[in-house]
Amino acid sequence: MNERDSEIMLQLLEQQGYLLCADLDSADAVIVNTCSIRGKAEQKAYSFIGSLRRLKKKKPHLIIAVAGCVAQQEGAKMKARMPHVDIIVGPQAIYQLPDFFRQAADATAVIATSQHKDFTIPPFLPDIGHGLPHKRFVTIMQGCNNYCTYCIVPYTRGREVSRRPEDILAEVRHLVDGGVREITLLGQNVNSYGNDHPAGGQTSFPELLRQVAAVPGLVRLRFTTSNPKDLSPALMACFQDLDNLCHHFHLPVQSGSNAVLKKMNRKYTVESYMDKVRGLRRACADISLTTDIIVGFPGETEADFLATMDLLEEVRYDSAFSFKYSSRPPAASCNLAETVSEEEKAQRLALFQKRQNEISLERHQEYVGTTLPVMIEGESKTGQGQWSGRSSHNLIVNFHSPRTYRPGELENVTITEGCLHSLRAELSQGDK
Ligand code: SAH
Ligand code: SF4
């Protein structure tokens, strides 16, 4: 979501005559788009913002803006701690950035972090000039109402706000008309899209998916991310019915222990989660499942952690993002006493990652011998004729071909090797 917000900010400033530049030293303006999901991300942001002080001294006209969740959360506190920052802009206010830049050029500091109950995401048509030309993100909603006890998102990104379906469809059509072939719909919890009527109208997420999938010329459709509690049979059915919906589902489980899930306020159990995994696999036999895990949540016992390890064996994810618990005030769990030491957290994380890596490798080896369409991303840096693309499962596939491809073209390849983070392949018979 931050990447998408960065693209929006860039486009708005380009319309004001700014150009993207390659290095900090030649910049007249710097925007630091921050994440505060874990303490470490926030510390990194602060140390980078601090390091800009030197640049501002050399170049007093430099405009420094901080965006994203750290900006939202810190507001005036950030200005007090880092007086060289000119603009502090929360996620709801990025659309006003050009105005803020004009004010900052007149030496007026801007702090735009108030959240509005009736905020709506403005209609916005992206320009197609940057990044890989064939794939794009489209935000369908902002914020989150779930209040998982460890999570800061509902405080920094605010309450759920869905975009109007007609704005989303207009954006998708505009992108596809401009040559984009793959769209990823974005939201903190896409499954609750439209629950905050009237912006979402009566359109549910599965209905929206069907409408977007029907846009002529759209070759691949993805979405991220989903809280498992809201994964409905109607969404599973989309995997049966929609040819261009990719065979990948990111389904963050966070823990394999019901006691921990309850303390996290996740509102599902391991049993109901497994029912959904089975339902998805019934709807789409080769669906690739990935997840997020937190180790060391307050009160997580050795037995709770082992339950997470058992779940790994049961689901066999293609890959997982895993994190050490990080206390994030004002998220509710910051009031729980931390019972797992940093050392234990590190040990649990290492055990988890070691086993998940083995499973990822085994899963990737299971693809050997299958023929898959790969959407080309580009020629690999390593050498002539080496191409790289992605399967519908979102796996990176590398292969050799004497042909030249444009990003977004499809090629059929046969998988010859499964590696930890990618697959190797050769051109399928008939394409050689
Ligand atoms: N909306 C998504 C998650 C978005 S945040 C969902 O409901 O699953 C991305 C991931 O960051 C989460 O899935 C979680 O694993 C991790 N995370 C969030 N808060 C955290 C915290 N306080 N400590 C460690 N990891 C955290
Ligand atoms: Fe955070 Fe939970 Fe919302 Fe995901 S669903 S963003 S983890 S509060």
CB proximity list for 389: less than 8 A, separation 6 or greater = 374, 375, 376, 377, 396, 397, 399, 411
C-alpha 98/C-alpha 92 separation (Å) is: 14
- Looking at all shown ligands, the one closest to residue 296's CA atom is 1
Whole-angstrom distance, CA of residue 316 vs CA of residue 324? 21
Of 81, 149, 67, residue with least CA distance to 113 = 67
How many CB atoms lie under 10 A from the CB of residue 285?
A: 9
In which band, very low, low, confident or very high, does the pLDDT at 432 lie, cut at 50, 70 and 90?
low
The tens digit of pLDDT for each residue in 348-358 reads 999 999 999 99
CA distance 374 to 428: 11
Q: Which residue among 153, 224, 250, 294 is best mutated to probe the pocket of ligand 2, counting the most ligand atoms within 8 A of its Cβ?
A: 153
Q: Which of 209, 233, 210, 236 is nearest to 223 (CA)?
A: 209
Ligand nearest to the CA of 338: 1
CATH topology for 135-365?
pyruvate-formate lyase- activating enzyme (3.80.30)
* Number of continuous H segments (helices) and E segments (strands) in the chain: 13, 17
Cα(265) to centroid(ligand 2), Å: 10
State pLDDT tens for residues 270-294.
999 999 999 999 999 999 999 999 9
Q: From 38, 142, 151, 230, give the residue whose CB has the most ligand 1 atoms within 8 Å, as the site to mutate.
A: 151
Give the residue, out of 323, 342, 348, with the most ligand 1 atoms within 8 A of its beta carbon, to mutate for a pocket test: 323
Confirm whether 2-112 and 371-431 share one CATH topology: no
Closest residue by Cα to residue 244 from 213, 205, 280: 213
Tell me the domain boundaries of the chain. 2-112, 135-365, 371-431
pLDDT given at position 384: 81
Are the CB atoms for 79 and 109 separated by under 8 Å? yes
Q: Whose CA is nearest to atom 1 of ligand 2?
A: 151
Alpha helices in 333-428 (DSSP H): 342-365
CATH of domain 2-112: 3.40.50.12160
Ligand 1 centre from 157 Cα, in Å? 14
Q: Please provide the size of the chain in residues.
A: 432
Whether the pLDDT of residue 431 is over 70: the answer is no
How many angstroms does the Cα of residue 56 sit away from the middle of ligand 2?
37
Per-residue pLDDT of 116-125, as tens digits, reads: 877 888 888 8
- Residue 376: how many CA atoms within 13 Å on its side-chain side? 21
Contact yes or no for 10/44 (Cβ under 8 A): no
Task: Encode pLDDT of 217-264 as tens digits.
Answer: 999 999 999 999 999 999 999 999 999 999 999 999 999 999 999 999
Taking residue 54's Cβ as centre, other Cβ atoms within 10 Å add up to 10
- What pLDDT band is residue 198 in, cutting at 50, 70 and 90? low
CA dihedral of 188, 189, 195, 200, whole degrees rounded to 10: 60
Over the range 172-194, which residues count as b (16 or more CB within 10 Å of their CB) and which as e? Answer: bbbbbeeebbbbbbbbbbbbbbb
Per-residue pLDDT tens over the stretch 142-160: 999 999 999 999 999 999 9
Torsional sign, CA 48, 53, 56, 57: negative
Residue nearest to atom 5 of ligand 2 (CA): 146
pLDDT digits (tens, 9 = 90+) for 39-89: 999 999 999 999 999 999 999 999 999 999 999 999 999 999 999 999 999
Q: Evaluate whether 414 touches 428 at the Cβ level (below 8 Å).
A: yes
* Residue ranges around ligand 1 (CB below 6 Å): 37-38, 150-151, 188-189, 225, 227, 252, 254, 292, 294, 323, 325-326, 328
- Any idea which ligand is nearest the CA of 224? 1
As a CATH number, domain 371-431 is 2.40.50.140
The letter for the amino acid at 321 is F
Residue nearest to atom 13 of ligand 1 (CA): 292
